[in-house]
Amino acid sequence: MKLRSTTKRMLVLGLLTVLGTTGTTSVATAGPLPSPTNVNATGLPRGGWDPVGPNSIGGLLAVSPAGLAMMQPGPPALWLSGDRGGSWTARRGLPVNTAIQGFFADPVNPDRMLAVGNKPGNKVGEWRGLLLRTTDRGETWETLREWYPDGAFGMATDPTGRVVVVQNLDSLSVSTDGGDHWNDVPRTWPREGIAAPVGALKLTLVGDDAYFTTVYPEYSLWVVRGVSGKEPRAELVYRTNGEIWQVASDGKRFAVTVGTELHGSTDGGKTWTVLRREPGGQPLREPRFVGGRLYVATYNDIDVSADFGRTWTRKPVPAPGEGVSDMIELPAAAGKPATTLISSVYRGVYADGGKHGYQQIGVPGESIRDLVTTGNLLRENLVAAGVQEIYNTPLPRGKVASADRVWQSHPTDRLHEDARLSVSAARPHVVWQVTRNGFALDVLRSGDGGRTWQLMGKAKEGTPRTILAHPADPDRLLVSAFAPSGHVLYRSDNAGKTWEKLPADNGFIAFAGDPWNANRVWGGDSRGLSRSDDGGRTWTHVSDEPVSSISVSRWGRVLVGGAGLLLSEDDGRTFRRVRDGEGPHEISRILPHPFDFRVWFASSATGGGVLRSTDFGRTWSPVPGALPDARVLSMAISADGRYLFAGTAQSGAYRLTLY
């Protein structure tokens, strides 16, 4: 169906509005569904941006007098909560491209924290490490020391944080004044080649002795005694037939993991016994003493002993398949009992409620690379693509509670890596996903708001770039990919049942379909803007301006984002620049308002937040209200046009009430 006049388009839009299929997603609202004649999205929004989740990222945990703290290892960010995980605030400013290996929060001074970070050096076997300190609770960080090429792989402190020990390739570095001055203890323990002590729980400080596990060729437990003295000395503590990997101590007792076994000592390492053998033959990891109990885990289960290994209780980890990254005891306070917190880096932070199960309490540090709304008049959902996961939740309306920030994820079905999403306006209850599968790609379909996904056909050659479910024909799908043979397009005209492989000269990272013409598709990449009038079989080059986002409205306007914004008001025949920009991928997403056709939104991936135009895309200004993370990678809008959602680079998703 091709409609060329604005009058005809308005007539059809009015009919679609009555039927509840107006293009984004239809939705049940708290009040009557607004009609196109009485919506005004040009005014000030109601309130500011509300965080809506997903609470899906974990890290290194600590407790300070001001509350709970979590260090997101990479990209590094400090998350703070003063209400036991009910809400979180991010502090950034840590060195980029650095993975945090250790974290300490001062038990007396809430403003003082330490972090040790590491990253590969210029050559194989070289590492660049650094110790960071904040004295203003993460607002700013200073570098106390750097280690190159020996790196910094772990940190242990005394309870006050005055004695600090950092594990390097060929030494232990010791400070007795909180990191200002240092003494290095040279390596006398075995290490060969490029072997490095990578991983958690390989160093612990007991009194004035630093215990650590070694790497190839001898996986043993060693100690440097008297680390803060003038003559520290290293000696072997424990060697066994298996490889000793991790070590934990409560000051009196020791536990080490040895493959599928946990070994323990109560006499400073003189004698050892087997405390636990994993019944399924899985490697044991993450030994910890928390709240007077001994914990050890596999990737699926946690074993707990209150009597140092004589008896054990087993329960599942909070996120099956992900194991445990950290555990601490959150002390009792203000009528709240002491609670064990369990962190899983890629799944979140959980409070262990015992018989009541786990409660997910944080942290909203996911990168929301794509975001769509899907549903119908009775139910609308929000679906997000993270770095390696897909999330879904009922679209949050009204006041956002803590429970609303816990979204469903899919840890057991597959890895959703580099996923991209698309919803056709003609079939708003179906979400399409293209995701990486090793060196190939898969196309998946969900008809229930992202709760379940079905694989559509066999894996296809190439690394995925983007997907389009055409707004004028929901059966027509286009997928852009890069294969060993070069750029390629996959096209389906029967909702993914069969696919046709088309050659392509461009590696499109953005698609948009004409809402009225199923054969017209716009595509863009760093080489510019192209148009197809035969459903993607052939392309006409339109512009050399780099493209990262395209949007086509029902009203004959085409907006193109890249380094700024280009606007066409004549169905793409001509374009003019309406906003200058910075880099070629600055504009990450462009959305028209579903009812107020004067209003457009554009998101900036480089820190410009969300922009709005109230004059058909001709001029632009920032949306009122500051986002905690102004690097916006994705956007979505509710079917009734009341709620705008922004997916950020490292703070999850936020909601703005437009009217």
Confidence of residue 555 (pLDDT cuts 50, 70, 90): confident
Number of domains comprising the chain: 1
Average pLDDT rounded to a whole number, residues 435-444 = 93
What would the two tokens of residue 619 be? 């001029």
CATH number, domain at 626? 2.130.10.10
The answer to whether residue 479 sits within a structural domain is: yes
What pLDDT was estimated at residue 377? 65
Share of the chain above pLDDT 70, in %: 94
Confidence of residue 410 (pLDDT cuts 50, 70, 90): confident
Examine the pLDDT at 27 and tell me if it is beyond 60. no
What pLDDT was estimated at residue 8? 37
Stretch among 1-10, 296-305, 427-436, 465-474 having the lowest mean pLDDT? 1-10
The 10s digit of each residue's pLDDT in 337-375 is 999 999 999 899 999 999 899 999 989 999 999 999 999
Q: Are 477 and 432 in contact (CB under 8 A)?
A: yes
What pLDDT was estimated at residue 11? 36
Q: Regarding beta strands 348-352 and 339-344, do their DSSP bridges make them parallel or antiparallel, or are they unpaired?
A: antiparallel
Examine the pLDDT at 16 and tell me if it is beyond 50. no
What pLDDT was estimated at residue 37? 56
The answer to whether residue 437 sits within a structural domain is: yes
What pLDDT was estimated at residue 335? 87
Give the residue carrying structure tokens 């096209």: 491
Residue 52 gets the label, from left (phi > 0), alpha (psi -120 to 50) or beta, of alpha
What is the rounded CA–CA span in Å between residue 180 and residue 169?
21
What pLDDT was estimated at residue 19? 32
What is the rounded CA–CA span in Å between residue 277 and residue 259?
9
What is the rounded CA–CA span in Å between residue 231 and residue 235?
13
The 10s digit of each residue's pLDDT in 197-225 is 999 999 999 999 999 999 999 999 999 99
Average pLDDT rounded to a whole number, residues 272-301 = 97
Average pLDDT rounded to a whole number, residues 571-591 = 95
The answer to whether residue 159 sits within a structural domain is: no
The 10s digit of each residue's pLDDT in 120-152 is 888 998 999 999 999 999 999 999 999 999 999
User: Helix, strand or coil for residue 566?
Assistant: strand
Phi, psi of 9 (to 5 degrees): -65, -40
What is the rounded CA–CA span in Å between residue 635 and residue 647?
6
What pLDDT was estimated at residue 149? 95
What is the rounded CA–CA span in Å between residue 133 and residue 63?
16
The answer to whether residue 444 sits within a structural domain is: yes
Confidence of residue 411 (pLDDT cuts 50, 70, 90): confident
Mean pLDDT rounded to a whole number for the chain: 92
What would the two tokens of residue 181 be? 């001055």
The 10s digit of each residue's pLDDT in 463-510 is 999 999 999 999 999 999 999 889 999 999 999 999 999 988 899 999
What is the rounded CA–CA span in Å between residue 444 and residue 277?
40
Q: Are 183 and 190 in contact (CB under 8 A)?
A: no
Examine the pLDDT at 573 and tell me if it is beyond 90. yes
What would the two tokens of residue 277 be? 């053998």
The 10s digit of each residue's pLDDT in 39-78 is 889 999 999 999 999 999 999 999 999 999 999 999 999 9
Per the structure, the complete domain to which residue 442 belongs is given by 6-52+365-657
Measured from the Cβ of residue 557, the count of other Cβ atoms closer than 10 Å reads: 20
Phi, psi of 413 (to 5 degrees): -85, -45
Share of the chain above pLDDT 90, in %: 84
DSSP H/E element including 8: helix 6-19
Query: E strands, 569-659, where?
Result: 576-580, 587-592, 600-604, 609-613, 621-622, 632-637, 643-648, 653-657
Name which residue leads in pLDDT, 1 or 333. Answer: 333
Confidence of residue 402 (pLDDT cuts 50, 70, 90): confident
Confidence of residue 170 (pLDDT cuts 50, 70, 90): very high
User: Helix, strand or coil for residue 488?
Assistant: strand
What pLDDT was estimated at residue 275? 98
